Structure 1
Amino acid sequence: MELLIKGGTVVNAQERCEADVLVRDGVIEEVGRHLAAPGAEVVDASGLLVLPGAIDAHTHLEFPFNGTASADDYFAGTRAAACGGVTMVFDFVTQRKGQGIREAVAPRDALCAPKACVDYSFHVALTDLTPQVLAEFSDAAAAGLPSFKLYMVYKRDGLMMNDADIVAALRRSKETGTLIAVHAENPDVIDRNIDTFRAEGKLSPWYHYLSRPEPVEAEADIRAIHWAKSLDAPLYIVHLANAEGMQAVRDAVNAGYTIYAETCPQYLHFTSEVYKRPDGRNFVCSPPMKGQASQDALWKGLQEGYIKTVATDHCPFTQAQKDWGKDDFTKIPNGCMGVENLYPYLLDAANRGRISFEKAVEVASRNPAQIFGCTKKGAILPGKDADIVLYDPHHPFTVSVSNMHSDCDYTIWEGLELSGYIRSTYARGRLVYHDGDFLGEAGYGRFVPCAPRKH
């Protein structure tokens, strides 16, 4: 099967050019001017930007929580992804006590494979860092699973890794070409704050933010960076949301250390003021949105290149599920939606001149592909998978639950006005979204084995 996309402006992370794109059997074969392919399906991309599909490196699909699960299963979540120009997702698998890494992934892969509409891979959240699990790092990497997450929080839930675990994991990651990511917040301070607020009857969503404000996250960011620097091991910080942590990343990078920072669209757009709204519970996620100074610092970090990736932490719960905590913020399921909004939000920022289109491609496609070893993704170049997005910078769009493709019954992005929007998404050369309509199918997405880092 051949596809020829003609007349568009191809945008990669480092350059843009007027070019045609020839696709054969799901792979980009040629990029150049005035290409011809008799018999190929021809798509007129005049006036459109031709972009590599986004990679959402942080999702929680079909995520188990207190006897229920997040609103989007692997089908609905990857459908929403496709409709937002995301052609690959990384989902998190949580290791149970006593499980090996590959043992933890196998049932989740079996659950995902028949439902996925776009390509996918996994990060493994480690909760039981035994000598056997540390020894398995190399075999897991060889199986295409070279990235592991450690929670520095959720102590009472049995998920937390202590500093000794972090050091052991970082040391082993350096030996095996794997990558350690951390959810950085201080659990003891959070738990003490929560106990105090509950005793005082302060249970509105505003106290979710006050229980884990800026210093609670910053301290853990700085601590994790300290251990990574001491071992000269790479570190990936998920969903960075505070100014002081952003500065710590900047300082470490400038000193020559490999510290990757990820942030999310919700931190770039909303501040902690949302927790004072009547629907504040819908915005409850961890870390929470912070103050304006932190948002400004994140934008500056993004513009200057210290934020390496933007991902979503997509983990939506329905209104009824969020209402479990309408009278007690500690009972609100943590998580917000975003996989369908990631690329349109960043491309809108580029359309308005806040960042460049090349920067949007860099943090949403090229960088996650490079950092996590997706060697066939992240660029419009010969030999890469034909994960292609056609973006119309002159097509205004207003986000509403009525035009999203999640199974969630609301969106925190309701009413967001975008200056341009995605017209089409191709996943490995197949049209999976066009002008508001999902055209893909469950089971089309494939597991992508990721390459370990060179060490």
Structure 2
Amino acid sequence: MLIKNGIVVTSKNCEQKDIRIKAEKIVEINYNLSPFLDEEVIDAKGKYVIPGVIDSHTHFSLHSRGTTSIDDFYSGGVSASLGGVTTHIDFADIEDGSLMKGLESRLEETVNSVIDFHFHIVIDDKFNPIKDDAQLQEIKDFGISSLKAFTTYKGLYMISEDKWEPLFIKAKENELIVAIHCEDDEIIQRNVEEFKKEKKLGVQYHPDIRPSIAEAEAIRKVCEIAKKVKATIYIVHLSSKEGYETVKAFKSKDFDLLVETTPHYLLLTKDKLKGSDGRLYLMTPPLREKEDNEALWQGIRENVIDVVATDHCAYSKKQKLMGTDSLDIFPGIPGVETLLPLVYTYGVKNGLFSINKMVELLSTNPAKIFKLFPKKGVIEKGSDADLIIFDPSIKEILNDKNAHSNAGYNPFNGFEVEGMPVTTILRGKVIVKDREFVGEKGYGKFVKAEF
């Protein structure tokens, strides 16, 4: 396969070149390449050719609270591929105290995957980082690069304070990153009791029950510990100005602090929770204010935020209508399909940063952080031929009908985007052609981290 006449975009430059693909890999990048006899040629004139997007935070087939999120590894992957995502990093929960058992269970669910995948392994408070140290080596040997831990959800996922330091030490010894959901549980539980008394548990009160200060305080605590032992940590879904100011204060302080945010925290506000469809916009952490959006965009510009991912966790409207209040409505929204067009439109087209910076945020940085680079996240000889042909001239208004998640609604309904992926190529195979999915079940495979 030969892709001709496109503007090849990496995190460093933009240049009109041709790309030759053979046996799943990029084998040649140069000017004015001539096609071989019978070689398939794709003309990308007037379009960008960019590395496949890596969404480093998705929840396909999430099993929680007696239900399962509506997008599985097939439907979620189809939606992702139509948005130019070629690899996603999902989650595998520890099972019966075993990290590998949890991972093996999740791998069984990926049989119909249409895009490539990797996993973070979620630990709970039963996991003892000292006693279970051998398990960390085991998952590393398998090709896993990260753990996921929580400072909230006591009794379910929350890690006790006395375990954070040994966890960071053992993760560091095994070259693993600890990805952390940061909200201070004590602040939240205090607010829950107070709001229960006042009968203020509707979705519109969710941002008050889980306020920005809870995020900032949890970030401060884990950063202090990580700094002490010089561990690498990754803050997931940063949502607030207070949280941003806290990570900014710790950035470049003798340890590797990596930070992720999402399109919904960049573009949506808590006003969505006040409408008749408020339940559809409930996620954790909650949506916040316009000033929080602006601070997070600034965080990208200042290189404090390293990655934009989605936290795609889709539930149908029927599922979202279950539950009585903000404490038991299923939290999460779809987003994997709209990641690229939203970041391009509201980041690049708005002049906040370059298209090269966009590639860094969506492809190169997640590949490097989770040790999938240079196999993924870059356009260079020898890398996987994961490519997007992106047409910057397409204008479209996002709505429920042009979204492909099984959720049946688009949280960015009414947002105008300028620029869309028209072709998605995964390991040399076209899986989206002319904006139509043409991939096949089972083509997606696990990508090992390379240490």
Please report the TM-score for the alignment, with normalisation by the length of structure 1.
Answer: 0.96
Secondary structure class of the residue paired with 1:431: strand
Letter in 2 for 1:21: I
Match of 2:77 in 1: 78
Between stretches 250-259 and 228-237, larger displacement belongs to: 250-259
Match of 1:378 in 2: 377
Match of 2:169 in 1: 171
Structure 1 residue 115 and structure 2 residue 123: aligned?
no
Detail structure 1 runs of 4+ shifted over 4 Å in the superposition. none
User: In 1, Cα distance between the equivalents of 2:238 and 2:12?
Assistant: 25
Structure 1 residues 214-260: Cα deviation after superposition (integer angstroms, max 9, x where no partner): 10111001111111101111110000111222122222223343100
Letter in 2 for 1:186: D
Structure 1 residues 413-441: Cα deviation after superposition (integer angstroms, max 9, x where no partner): 11211011111111111111123311111
Letter in 2 for 1:428: R
Secondary structure class of the residue paired with 2:153: coil
Q: Which runs of 5+ in 1 are unaligned?
A: none
- Displacement, 1:196? 2.0
Over the matched positions of the two proteins, sequence identity in percent amounts to 34
Match of 2:41 in 1: 42
Match of 1:281 in 2: 279
Match of 1:334 in 2: 331
Match of 1:219 in 2: 217
Between stretches 213-222 and 245-254, larger displacement belongs to: 245-254
Whether the 8 Å CA contact 1:181–1:235 is kept in 2: the answer is yes
User: In 2, Cα distance between the equivalents of 1:15 and 1:204?
Assistant: 48
Match of 2:444 in 1: 445
Match of 1:316 in 2: 314
Whether the 8 Å CA contact 1:8–1:49 is kept in 2: the answer is yes
Between stretches 98-107 and 220-229, larger displacement belongs to: 98-107
User: In 1, Cα distance between the equivalents of 2:390 and 2:164?
Assistant: 41
Whether the 8 Å CA contact 2:230–2:254 is kept in 1: the answer is no
User: In 2, Cα distance between the equivalents of 1:244 and 1:67?
Assistant: 33
Structure 1 residues 145-173: Cα deviation after superposition (integer angstroms, max 9, x where no partner): 120011110014x2100222221111011
Secondary structure class of the residue paired with 1:140: helix
- Displacement, 1:451? 2.2
Between stretches 71-80 and 199-208, larger displacement belongs to: 199-208
Q: Which runs of 5+ in 2 are unaligned?
A: none
Secondary structure class of the residue paired with 1:51: strand
Secondary structure class of the residue paired with 1:414: coil
Please report the TM-score for the alignment, with normalisation by the length of structure 2.
Answer: 0.96
Alignment counterpart, residue 343 of structure 1, candidates 332, 340, 343: 340
Between stretches 194-203 and 118-127, larger displacement belongs to: 194-203
Alignment counterpart, residue 250 of structure 1, candidates 248, 251, 257: 248
RMSD, aligned α-carbons? 1.3
Structure 1 residue 423 and structure 2 residue 440: aligned?
no
Counting matched residue pairs gives: 446
User: In 1, Cα distance between the equivalents of 2:132 and 2:266?
Assistant: 36
- Displacement, 1:366? 0.1
Whether the 8 Å CA contact 1:129–1:165 is kept in 2: the answer is no
Whether the 8 Å CA contact 1:285–1:335 is kept in 2: the answer is yes
Structure 1 residue 353 and structure 2 residue 351: aligned?
yes
User: In 2, Cα distance between the equivalents of 1:308 and 1:437?
Assistant: 31
Alignment counterpart, residue 367 of structure 2, candidates 363, 369, 373: 369
Between stretches 390-399 and 343-352, larger displacement belongs to: 343-352
User: In 1, Cα distance between the equivalents of 2:396 and 2:260?
Assistant: 26
Whether the 8 Å CA contact 1:134–1:169 is kept in 2: the answer is no
Match of 2:21 in 1: 23
Secondary structure class of the residue paired with 2:193: helix
Secondary structure class of the residue paired with 2:260: strand
